[in-house]
Each structure stands twice: as structure tokens, then as C-alpha cells.
Amino acid sequence: MPTVSAPGRVNLIGEHIDYHSLPVLPMAIGQRVTVHFTPIAGPRIEAIGAGGFPPRTFAWSPSIAPYESGDWGNYLKAAAQAVALRWGVRNGIAAEITGNIPPAAGLSSSSALLVAFTLALLEANSIRPTIGELMEILPDGEQYVGTRGGGMDHAISLAGRAGHALEIHFSPFHARPIPIPPAWAFLIAHSLRTAEKSSAVREEYNQRRFAGQRALHQLGFTSYRQNPSPELAAQLTDPLERRCFLHVVTEAARVRQAIAALESQDAPSFARVLNEGHRSLRDQLQVSCPELDRLTESALHAGALGARLTGAGFGGCAIIFTTHDALPAIQQNLIETFYNGDPTRIFPAVPSNGAMAAGTSSPS
């Protein structure tokens, strides 16, 4: 049976700036969503989800009405709708979906489902687009389920490269793989607070996005890519706009510093940038929470070089930077001090191939 799979992601640095079209530095992780499918002759889509998700069947039409809000089948419909808008309605598939990305953890399990199901629909119809073409439909496609982030999650799920982080640019899409130094290692650790996608959290996310945009325009710029200086923040009278502006411009600088540190294998500088990034997300953008703050502090206390929340925030996971040698002791320390002995909420982040990385794009 043909199979397509797409990974989740963890972001190293460049948080809440992809929607301002600024570069980010994520890596794809080993956990994936996998779609096993057989083509159907006709515009019909059938899907069975593993792990208690009820089966979903629908007619593929140019304009598909969504299920109720929160239904997992809306990601399948989002994929079908996005494909239909760009390539028209085609033959459907009967699919079985499995996956091992922890849900509601800020690791992009839903974007991975959208990516994998889109690729399965395309593959079943022998349509083989470029990553750039997919990047034109996928971030907008997710609007179908009510969320509209930036393009980071889809980009890394498509283009991730084993052993590498990706420097991702938007509009136009461009990705540059940067090798992770052999001694460097990362842990993904859950804060024990669910990263909800509730409408309240969505509003918080959008509020920051729009405040950052308003700040930019008030200062007379049309794009953050014009590199406005952080000093201009003093001219902004609205506190939210000032804080969002400061986060965005300093985070953009941190991405550049992190890339330089990664390329020169300078672990102390890379760690410093990560720690500064967490402070900015906590104090300027205010998307952290007490659980994430405590987790990152515990990680540093346990001997990690750096730690920051990863993804949208408001719960979910932290990324912890260490070395391969020190990783087991830090993991064990946190299992005891933060997780009360539960070993399941913290695991190494293994930089992995995206769905369309060289050698992984064709169905097996």
C-alpha cells in the first residue's frame, strides 16, 4: 500500500516571527504522521484514524463544508480543499492514518497531518508539486480549521533534513540545511500544561501578530525585513505594540546570531541566544506560562546549556540544549525533579527528514 509520512517539528529559535515573513530555524523530529492509502476511482475520501479517532468519509467537492469545530476530520477536509483550489477535484483515497507525535504539545502534529494527507491526495493522482508550490497552499489551507499561523510548521515538515536544522525564509520560500554539530544534543520536554488550540489561545496569538504589525506600520515601515532598529520601540506609546515590536526585532537578530553560532559550533553563544529568546517570549511577547518558566529553569539547574519554550507557547513543550554526553543525566534529573518519576514526557529531539527531503518523497 502506498505510504506518505510527515514529521512534527521543534523550533530552535525564531518564535512568533514567521508570520512577519522573517527567517526561522526549526528542525523536523523523528515522530511522524503516516498515511497508508489506496486510490479510489471517484471524488470520495475515506479515512480511518488510529488511536480512537472515529472514521471519516466525505465527498470531495470544490467547496467542502467543515465538520463541527474540533473534529479531526477537518484536517482531512482542509487538505482536500487546498488541493481542489489549486489542482481541482480529483480521485479520492481510502486511507489509514497512524502517528506518534504527541498531540497538543506544540510539536505541530496537526500541520503534519495536513501535510501528509495533502501529499497522499496528490500522490494518488500522480501530481508531484515542488515544496514552493505546496507552501503557496498549505498555510492558507490551515485556515479551514480556524488557525492561521505562519508557514514554519509546513515548511519544516516538508523540507526537514536528517542531522540538520533548517534556516527557512518565506515569500519566496527557501530552506538552507545547517548541520547540527556532532556533540550537540536536544531534549523535548513537556511543561505538563496542554498547548490548547482553543479560541481564547487563538485570539491571544492573533493579538500579538496584529500588534506587531500595527507597531511596524506606525513606525513607517512596510516589512520587518527592512530591519527596523529596536531603539525605535521608544516611539511606540501602546505597551502591547511596543513589547511585540521589541520581541520581533530582537528575535530576528537572535536567529542570525544562532545561525552564526551553529555554523561556528559555538555552543555557549548558541545557548545564550536560546536563553535570551525564552526571556523575550516571557517578558516581551508574554506567551510563556509558569509551567514553562519552571521547566526551563529546572533544565538549566540540571546542567543544560540552554532552554526555551518552543512553538506558539501558552503551554506545550520546551527545547533543551545540551551535549550528547550530558543528555542522559539531565533527562534523568528532570524525570525525577519535574516529572515525579514519569519518563514519558521528555525525550531526545532527533533531527529528521521532512516528507519531501531527498530520498523520502516517493511513496514506498
Output the nine-digit C-alpha cell for 177: 540545511
149 binds ligand GLA (CB under 6 A): yes
Among 22, 76, 145, 152, binds ligand GLA (CB under 6 A): 152
Least Cβ distance, residue 303 to ligand GLA (angstroms): 27
| CA dist., res. 34 & res. 83, Å (int) | 19
Looking at beta carbons only, is 18 or 276 nearer to ligand GLA?
18
Q: Name residue 102's beta-bridge partners.
A: none
Pick from 320, 258, 350: nearest CA to 9 = 350
Active site residue 325: no
Looking at beta carbons only, is 37 or 170 nearer to ligand GLA?
170
Looking at beta carbons only, is 82 or 95 nearer to ligand GLA?
82
With contacts defined by CB under 6 A, name the span among 67-75, 149-157, 196-204, 214-222 that binds ligand GLA.
149-157
Pick from 190, 180, 163: nearest CA to 323 = 180
Residue nearest to ligand GLA (CB): 149
123 binds ligand GLA (CB under 6 A): no
Looking at beta carbons only, is 16 or 77 nearer to ligand GLA?
16
Residue pair 329/208 in contact by the 8 Å Cβ criterion: no
312 binds ligand GLA (CB under 6 A): yes
- Choice among 18, 71, 153, 293 that is catalytic: 153
With contacts defined by CB under 6 A, name the span among 145-153, 160-168, 212-220, 353-361 that binds ligand GLA.
145-153
Contacts of 54 (CB under 8 A, 6+ apart): none
Looking at beta carbons only, is 152 or 236 nearer to ligand GLA?
152
Residues 8-27 touching ligand GLA, rule: CB under 6 A, are 11, 15-16, 18-19
What is the residue whose three cell numbers read 498547548? Answer: 195
Between the CA of residue 53 and those of 66, 99, 168, 193, 292, what are the distances in Å? Answer: 17, 12, 33, 22, 29
315 binds ligand GLA (CB under 6 A): no
Least Cβ distance, residue 106 to ligand GLA (angstroms): 7
Least Cβ distance, residue 37 to ligand GLA (angstroms): 25
Least Cβ distance, residue 46 to ligand GLA (angstroms): 28
CB-based contacts of 178-181 (< 8 A; 24+ apart in sequence) = 178/25, 178/259, 178/262, 178/263, 180/27, 180/262, 180/351, 181/262, 181/265, 181/267
Site string for ligand GLA, 292-311 (x = CB under 6 A): -------------------x
Least Cβ distance, residue 11 to ligand GLA (angstroms): 6
Among 123, 153, 167, 241, binds ligand GLA (CB under 6 A): 153
Looking at beta carbons only, is 277 or 306 nearer to ligand GLA?
277
Between the CA of residue 321 and those of 212, 264, 273, 287, 347, what are the distances in Å? Answer: 28, 16, 11, 20, 12
Binding site for ligand GLA (CB under 6 A): 11, 15-16, 18-19, 149-150, 152-153, 311-312
- Catalytic site residues? 153
